[in-house]
Amino acid sequence: MTIPTKDQKKLWGLAAGRCSKPGCGEGCIRFLDEGGTTVIGEMAHIIAQQPDGPRGQPGGGEDSYENLILLCPTHHTEIDKAPEGIFSVEELKRWKWEHENRISRSFLSPVFDSKKEMGLKIKRLLIQNHRIWKNSGPESQEAASNPLSSHVEIWNLRKLDTIVPNNRKVINIINNNEYLIDVNDLDACYHFVEHAEGFERNCYKRTEGVLRFPVEFERVIDNYVQV
């Protein structure tokens, strides 16, 4: 059976595209020397699909988010080739839970002392997002030069593993540091929040009318950085 797209997106997004084994955290997209990218992450079954597979149980495991863990190839091979009992179902579920909770906690925003400090944090996140859009987005050089390449798959995953988490961090910074934002700049900030939330929804389910990135928000942040 094929893993449903919604379960793939949920797994990749909540794991932020990184291996869930404690102490690893390797990014599951590899950047090649010639400038291309390839997906190396593997969606491993916690309970094997077949009863006689790794960590198998009568009836087999489902192709669902609840029964999947995102791993790098090395650790996927390690857990599946290890002697029975070395990596239990309970341990893999714990890895997954702890990893996803670490990702979730990373969205928490500190309270900043100045506009400049807040602006610099946001600016770094926007720069990273913009670079990913330039390299992997629908208007990237790779997309234009080779329409049959895997750029669509890469772009969909990069949105989930970096752009959406970064947007969520920016939203939390805005919400937790609103007192630093000039009243005249609030509209641009809230425009970004609406854009980011619509963008995230669209990553999981096709959504019409998503607002484009507000250029005015970037101008606001650039002004704060220069304060």
Res. 99: pLDDT tops 90: yes
The number of CA neighbours under 13 Å toward the Cβ of 85 is 0
How many residues does the structure list for the chain? 227
pLDDT band at 92 (very low <50, low <70, confident <90, very high): very high
Mean pLDDT of 198-220: 93
Instruction: Please say whether the beta carbons of 91 and 21 come within 8 A.
Output: no
Residue pointed to by tokens 């291996």: 19
pLDDT band at 136 (very low <50, low <70, confident <90, very high): confident
Mean pLDDT of 28-52: 85
List the chain domain ranges: 5-105, 115-225
pTM value? 0.86
How many CB atoms are closer than 10 A to CB 50?
Answer: 13
Res. 150: pLDDT tops 90: no
Q: What pLDDT score does 94 carry?
A: 97
Q: What pLDDT score does 222 carry?
A: 98
Mean pLDDT of 49-57: 92
pLDDT band at 168 (very low <50, low <70, confident <90, very high): very high
Q: What pLDDT score does 184 carry?
A: 97
Res. 1: pLDDT tops 60: no
Q: What pLDDT score does 143 carry?
A: 61
Mean pLDDT of the chain: 91
The number of CA neighbours under 13 Å toward the Cβ of 111 is 3
pLDDT band at 169 (very low <50, low <70, confident <90, very high): very high
- List the structure tokens of 59: 């009836």
Collapsed DSSP state (helix, strand, coil) of residue 16: coil
Enumerate residues 6+ apart whose C-beta is below 8 A from 198: 207, 209, 210, 211
Mean pLDDT of 152-170: 93
Q: What pLDDT score does 35 carry?
A: 59
pLDDT band at 79 (very low <50, low <70, confident <90, very high): very high
Res. 219: pLDDT tops 70: yes
Q: What pLDDT score does 105 carry?
A: 92
Instruction: Please say whether the beta carbons of 221 and 123 come within 8 A.
Output: yes
Q: Which amino acid is at 95?
A: W
Q: What is the DSSP letter of 182?
A: -
Mean pLDDT of 112-124: 97
Task: Give the least confident one: 23-32, 57-66, 98-107.
Answer: 23-32
